[in-house]
């Protein structure tokens, strides 16, 4: 199989029921059997490849699973109704009362809240670390550690996790290295760098249309089979299932993911470099000024670029709010959370997506009130967009 994620997805060939070029959508919750004994064999796990009930498996969700497994180079995948559904069911599949997790402190706000507030109720403890300091991870490992959890590129500071280094710590142990790759599909292939499990919020770049919520867990066959186990699987028993019609629409959007990622990356690099020249503080992992630039270069699949996310620090909350409102008024994009849309989306992380993180911890992490997180769109003329953004900055007195 190709060692390129885009080629591996491209090479899938699924005919529809009547020879359609898209697989037919199986909008059925349950499936018939010609023989009662076959149904029994499926229930008992002795007969594979049959669909039984759509909370377990469904042909349409299976096609999407196949494409995601191809992209991340795993044996299998599981899709869920949201990124959080994928994250929570994956964690609950691995951890039980008494277990410990070591997690990056700069993770998605929902994941942070789940680890910090929810899991202690189940007796699962999380140690939060600065993931760029891998010695902190090593120092916290003990006999109860079950998982190291991080994001490839963290929200909102775009710090890059050193997956090869983290993998060298968890290798030869039973500790799972779980990586949320939502910001960098195609760009970084965590499994090839040594991760055990890759998670995605499909809601963002992978779907790319801001019309759906979904999530995925990509892992080896054994883990995905465990997640779907009718007696013990978190993917089966917690019911985080994705709807088959939604799975079909996300799969169709996924076919242009590689082109979109290239354009997002091209545009984000252009905007970052030009604002840096204007004297604005910019966070973008594709520039030498970023602390993990060389690590990013070591880890990424170059042809897809450095990603579509960047952060501009305009020094105060007032500036940030005025800048964002001006950009929306000028039709540069939308003042909205989320990312990976065809048009630019922007928000102030301190008071939105990272608001679950207490203020003093935000300061510790290097978050500041004047930060504007930008998910750059796939704009055809990015120079025009830059000029418009610059004008907005002038209008509100930042430049
Ligand atoms: C959005 C996001 C999630 C959560 O995904 P949902 O689809 O909103 O549940 C998890 N991780 C990251 C990095 C995200 O950006």
pLDDT single digits (tens) 290-342: 999 999 999 999 999 999 999 999 999 999 999 999 999 999 999 999 999 99
Closest CA to ligand 1's atom 8: 83
Distance 208 CA to ligand 1 centre (A): 13
- Listed residues 254, 277, 309: the one ending a domain: 254
All residues at 6 or more sequence positions from 259 whose CB lies less than 8 Å from its CB, including other chains? none
Question: Angle CA(200)–CA(202)–CA(204) in degrees, nearest 5?
Answer: 105
Number of domains in the chain: 2
Asked whether residue 141 falls in the same domain as residue 246, the answer is yes
Q: Are residues 239 and 362 in the same domain?
A: no
Residues 133 and 103 in one domain: yes
Residues 216 and 117 in one domain: yes
Domain C-terminal end among 204, 237, 254: 254
Q: What is the CATH classification number for the domain harbouring 90? A: 3.40.640.10
Average of per-residue pLDDT across 266-276: 98
Atom 11 in ligand 1: residue holding the nearest Cα? 108
Mutate to test the pocket of ligand 1, among 182, 209, 336, 339 (most ligand atoms within 8 A of CB): 182
Boundary of a domain, candidates 254, 277, 303 = 254
Task: Output the pLDDT for position 29.
Answer: 97
Q: Pocket around ligand 1: residues whose beta carbon is below 6 Å from it?
A: 82-84, 108, 110-111, 151, 155, 180, 182-183, 201, 203-204, 213, 215
- Which atom of ligand 1 lies closest to the CA of 155? 13
CATH code: domain of residue 263: 3.90.1150.10
Quick check: helix, strand or coil at residue 285?
Answer: coil
Asked if pLDDT for residue 350 goes beyond 80, the answer is no
Contact 354, 367 (CB under 8 A): yes
What is the predicted pLDDT for the residue at 359?
81
Kindly report the length of the chain.
399
Position 354 confidence tier, pLDDT thresholds 50, 70, 90: confident
Is 288 in the same domain as 148?
Answer: no
Q: The tokens 């999407």 sit on which residue?
A: 64
Looking at the fold, whether 29 and 166 belong to one and the same domain comes out as: yes
| Cα–Cα separations (whole angstroms), residue 216 to 71, 247, 284, 341 | 12, 11, 26, 19
For residue 267, what pLDDT band results from cuts at 50, 70 and 90? very high
Residue 231: give the domain boundaries. 5-254
Which numbered atom of ligand 1 lies nearest the CA of 214? 7
Q: What is the largest CA-CA distance in the chain?
A: 74
Domain shared by 163 and 267, yes or no: no
Residues 274 and 335 in one domain: yes
Q: Does 185 lie in the same domain as 199?
A: yes
Q: Is the pLDDT of residue 351 over 90?
A: no
Calculate what percentage of the chain has a pLDDT beyond 90. Answer: 91
Lowest mean pLDDT among 37-41, 237-241, 350-354: 350-354
Residues 325 and 345 in one domain: yes
Q: Are residues 193 and 322 in the same domain?
A: no
- Closest to 362 in 3D by CA, of 371, 100, 183, 140: 371
Closest CA to 134 of 171, 94, 86, 189: 171
Q: Are residues 245 and 282 in the same domain?
A: no
Q: What is the DSSP string of 69-103?
A: HHHHT-SEEEEESSHHHHHHHHHHHH--TT-EEEE
- Does the pLDDT value for residue 282 go beyond 90? yes
Q: Calculate how far, in angstroms, residue 198's C-alpha sits from the geometric centre of ligand 1.
A: 13
pTM summary value? 0.97
């Amino acid at each position: 199989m190709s060692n390129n994620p885009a080629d591996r997805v491209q090479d899938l060939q699924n005919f529809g029921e009547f020879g359609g070029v898209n697989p037919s959508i199986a909008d059925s919750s349950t499936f018939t059997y010609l023989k009662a004994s076959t149904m029994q064999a499926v229930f008992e796990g002795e007969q594979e490849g049959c669909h039984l009930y759509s909370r377990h498996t469904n042909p349409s969700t299976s096609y999407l699973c196949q494409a995601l497994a191809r992209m991340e180079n795993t044996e299998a995948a599981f899709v869920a109704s949201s990124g959080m559904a994928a994250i929570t069911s994956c964690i609950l599949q691995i951890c039980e009362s008494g277990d410990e997790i070591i997690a990056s402190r700069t993770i998605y706000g929902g994941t942070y809240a789940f680890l910090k507030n929810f899991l202690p109720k189940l007796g699962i403890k999380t140690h939060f670390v600065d993931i760029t300091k891998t010695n902190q991870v090593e120092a916290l490992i003990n006999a109860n550690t079950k998982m190291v959890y991080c994001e490839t590129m963290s929200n909102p500071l775009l710090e890059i996790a050193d997956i090869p280094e983290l993998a060298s710590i968890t290798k030869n142990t039973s500790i799972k290295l779980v990586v949320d790759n939502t910001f960098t599909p195609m760009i970084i292939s965590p499994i090839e760098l040594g991760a055990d499990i890759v998670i995605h919020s499909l809601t963002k770049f992978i779907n790319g249309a801001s019309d759906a919520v979904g999530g995925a867990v990509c892992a080896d066959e054994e883990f995905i089979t465990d997640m779907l186990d009718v007696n013990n699987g978190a993917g089966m028993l917690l019911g985080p299932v994705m709807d088959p019609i939604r799975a079909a629409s996300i799969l169709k959007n996924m076919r242009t993911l590689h082109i979109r990622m290239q354009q997002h990356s091209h545009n984000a690099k252009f905007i970052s470099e030009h604002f840096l020249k204007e004297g604005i503080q910019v966070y973008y992992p594709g520039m030498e000024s970023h602390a993990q630039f060389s690590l990013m270069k070591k880890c990424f699949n170059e042809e897809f670029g450095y990603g579509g996310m960047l952060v501009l620090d305009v020094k105060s909350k007032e500036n940030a709010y005025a800048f964002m409102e001006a950009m929306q008024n000028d039709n540069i994009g939308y003042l909205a959370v989320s990312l990976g849309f065809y048009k630019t989306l922007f928000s102030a992380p301190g008071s939105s997506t990272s608001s679950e993180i207490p203020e003093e911890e935000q300061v510790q992490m290097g978050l500041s009130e004047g930060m504007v997180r930008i998910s750059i769109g796939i704009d055809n003329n990015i120079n025009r967009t830059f000029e418009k953004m610059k004008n907005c900055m002038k209008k509100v007195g930042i430049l």
